[in-house]
Structure 1
Amino acid sequence: MLPDRCVRTVVTSPPYWSLRDYEADGQIGRDDALGDYVKSIVITFDKVRRVLTDDGTVWLNVGDSYTSGNRSYRAPDRKNRARAMRVRPPTPEGLKPKDLIGVPWRLALALQDAGWWLRSEVIWYKPNAHPESVGDRPTKAHETVFLLSKSQDYYYDIDSVRGPNDRRLRTVWDINTEPRRPAGSGVGDHPAVMPMALARQCIKITSEPGDMVLDPFAGSGTTLLAAQDMDRRWAGIELKPAFVDLIRHRLGL
């Protein structure tokens, strides 16, 4: 168990609701109701609060999704076959088929209600976003990253990362997604790898060398690898044994 107040910043991306099946016992987001999904992450963050320093922060990357129209599966998109799922949660009460659900903001507001300071919404713009077959809305080319803090005052190095033309960093970040690698190279075994550039930027802004960085949904281990490369200590939690092996491989453990 991690001691109290030992983590300076958290950089994490929990499983997205209704978008992936990680085939792991106890996973969230695959077949639980939307309210239960939000509640599960809020409970997890209650535990994160204990280990976070009083001036600590959380960077939370969450993707949005659309209602399924009560279909119990997702057929593969011909332009993105990894989207297929054998099981999908039912359409949340009060929403209509094809509705954009607003998952990131539902979660952010629940965390705000739970006592977190909601300090910023960052739009992660993906210049190389994957094409979609849908023909009645724009192709999605962004995800949301929220900056949350444990207290009103927190560590934030405003000069550590500068935007275009050396301006102060804005709330739209252009960061390419990282394509899945061929088999045998490691990260090809994970369907949703966080870009290293995103993890590094978050870590650089809200921690210093020697600080502890935590990812409670470690996935492919990108946050941990970025922390290690940037002379931070790190801790990660991951449910799926195969992903734990992947993390060990990437970290050279």
Structure 2
Amino acid sequence: MREPDWQSEDGDIKLYCGDCAAVLADLPEKSVNCCVTSPPYWGLRDYGTAEWEGGEAECDHTRPDRQGASGERATRTTGHDDIYRDLCGKCGARRIDSQLGLEATPEEYVDKLVEIFRQVRRVLRDDGTVWLNLGDSYGGLAGGNNGVPPEWQRAGRGQSRVTKIRAAGTRTKDLCGIPWRVAFALQADGWYLRQDIIWAKPNPMPESVTDRCTKAHEYIFLLSKSARYWYDAEAIKEEAIGTGGGAFGKVLMADVAAKSGAQARRYERPDYREIGRNRRSVWTVATQPYSEAHFATYPAKLIEPCILAGCPAGGVVLDPFIGSGTTAEVCATKGRGCIGIELNREYMELAIRRIRPAIQQGPDDALFKQAKRIEQPLLIGE
């Protein structure tokens, strides 16, 4: 088994630097409770992980017709779309890059994700779930700027850049439907597609478009390995509107608590709340700014329900695209372990800096501090 490139003192948080498919292949079978992740979106960004083989060492591998720009204009217009994608036309060097998202077509991207999630399925317990966050892209010039204003496209040291891939077989302005293509492909590959959850953004990224609405949502897909799986609905209940106590409430709860089996044991848990309703499938969560270099970070509040519902306290969450470390940070504050994989070593360093304070702070609730000593009931799906 491969040793982690970094781990917390107690070994609960482990980070690996490398291609996620290769790292996953080295992890033991059925060793994680759930997977919470957001892969790089198709055609949107180049995260700067490419290396060049052969050719001339001093060559910049930039297309000649793109050179000469300087100042503010260069900052805004020069990106990884200006660099040869496969073979340098000037020195003949070959580009070697295993990052996801720069495939020539949506089909190639989907196929690659299906292969990666076959490895995820191998390391996932039989009662495990996947919570997969995906955004969409437009066709023709894949990604392009997707209506994003120029000032949002700037990239400094260690940052991703907006990329523009000439996507074969797609029409300009066509929405590619990438999230649903991936979801249906995973379903066809054997996963149970349990639910689509809408991430509604009250503060979406502005777009310079006038012939459609500003995009203000993304998807989170809940997938399971088996028909019966761990799912703790109690941990993510919403406040019920108009629900009170009183005699009726007490009688009702006494009746419910009298049930036998796993459900009855649930009411003895410290995190049980008598008042609440089953969580709805539209989650309104504001995007969260991140001051460091990594661009694509989902907010901690978005994935907290995924981790609480999908992984028992003391269990292990997998994120094969850990990026700046949000998943591991939330796991540290919720009494869960985490295995994270990141291709870009610079981003992994960002993740470590972000995770350390969360580890030092420890779990944010007395329940999670006792996580490994609390007997957990087996909660299963339909």
- How far the C-alpha of 1:31 sits from its partner, in A, is 4.3
Q: In structure 2, what is the equivalent of residue 195 of structure 1? A: 299
- How far the C-alpha of 1:88 sits from its partner, in A, is 2.4
Pair 72,131 (structure 1): closer, same or farther in 2 beyond 3 Å: closer
Tell me the distance in 2 between the aligned counterparts of 1:160 and 1:212.
Answer: 17
Matched, 1:22 2:47: yes
1:125 corresponds to which letter in structure 2? A
Q: In structure 2, what is the equivalent of residue 65 of structure 1? A: 137
Determine if contact 1:31/1:87 at 8 Å carries over to the other structure: no
Q: In structure 1, what is the equivalent of residue 311 of structure 2? A: 207
- How far the C-alpha of 1:96 sits from its partner, in A, is 2.1
- How far the C-alpha of 1:124 sits from its partner, in A, is 0.3
1:216 corresponds to which letter in structure 2? P
1:210 match: secondary structure: coil
Match of 2:332 among 222, 228, 238: 228
Greater Rg over alpha carbons, structure: 2
Tell me the distance in 2 between the aligned counterparts of 1:42 and 1:10.
Answer: 14
Structure 2 residues without counterparts, runs of 5 or longer: 1-25, 51-97, 241-275, 360-382
Q: In structure 1, what is the equivalent of residue 281 of structure 2? A: 171
1:133 match: secondary structure: coil
Tell me the distance in 1 between the aligned counterparts of 2:162 and 2:305.
Answer: 35
- How far the C-alpha of 1:207 sits from its partner, in A, is 1.0
Q: In structure 2, what is the equivalent of residue 244 of structure 1? A: 348
Tell me the distance in 1 between the aligned counterparts of 2:168 and 2:120.
Answer: 28
1:8 corresponds to which letter in structure 2? N
- How far the C-alpha of 1:251 sits from its partner, in A, is 1.6
1:136 match: secondary structure: coil
1:218 match: secondary structure: coil
Tell me the distance in 2 between the aligned counterparts of 1:72 and 1:226.
Answer: 29
Q: In structure 2, what is the equivalent of residue 146 of structure 1? A: 221
- Paired-residue identity, %: 44
- How far the C-alpha of 1:71 sits from its partner, in A, is 7.5
Q: TM-score, normalised by structure 2?
A: 0.61
Q: In structure 2, what is the equivalent of residue 185 of structure 1? A: none
Matched, 1:2 2:74: no
Q: How does 1:48-127 map to 2 (within 5 A)?
A: 48-67=120-139, 69-70=140-141, 74=145, 77-78=149-150, 80-82=152-154, 85=161, 87-93=163-169, 95-127=170-202
Determine if contact 1:66/1:99 at 8 Å carries over to the other structure: yes
- How far the C-alpha of 1:90 sits from its partner, in A, is 2.3
2:125 match: secondary structure: strand
1:192 corresponds to which letter in structure 2? A
* Deviation by residue 1:130-180 (Cα, 9 ceiling, x = unmatched): 221111100000000000000011011111112353321111001110013
Tell me the distance in 2 between the aligned counterparts of 1:238 and 1:71.
Answer: 24
1:236 corresponds to which letter in structure 2? G
Tell me the distance in 2 between the aligned counterparts of 1:86 and 1:154.
Answer: 38
Tell me the distance in 2 between the aligned counterparts of 1:219 and 1:40.
Answer: 18
2:283 corresponds to which letter in structure 1? W
Pair 42,218 (structure 1): closer, same or farther in 2 beyond 3 Å: same
Determine if contact 1:9/1:57 at 8 Å carries over to the other structure: yes
Number of residue pairs matched by the alignment? 245
Q: In structure 1, what is the equivalent of residue 111 of structure 2? A: 39
The alignment yields a C-alpha RMSD, in angstroms, of 2.1
Tell me the distance in 2 between the aligned counterparts of 1:135 and 1:219.
Answer: 33
1:167 match: secondary structure: coil
Determine if contact 1:76/1:82 at 8 Å carries over to the other structure: no
Structure 1 residues without counterparts, runs of 5 or longer: 182-187
1:16 match: secondary structure: coil
Match of 1:13 among 29, 33, 38: 38
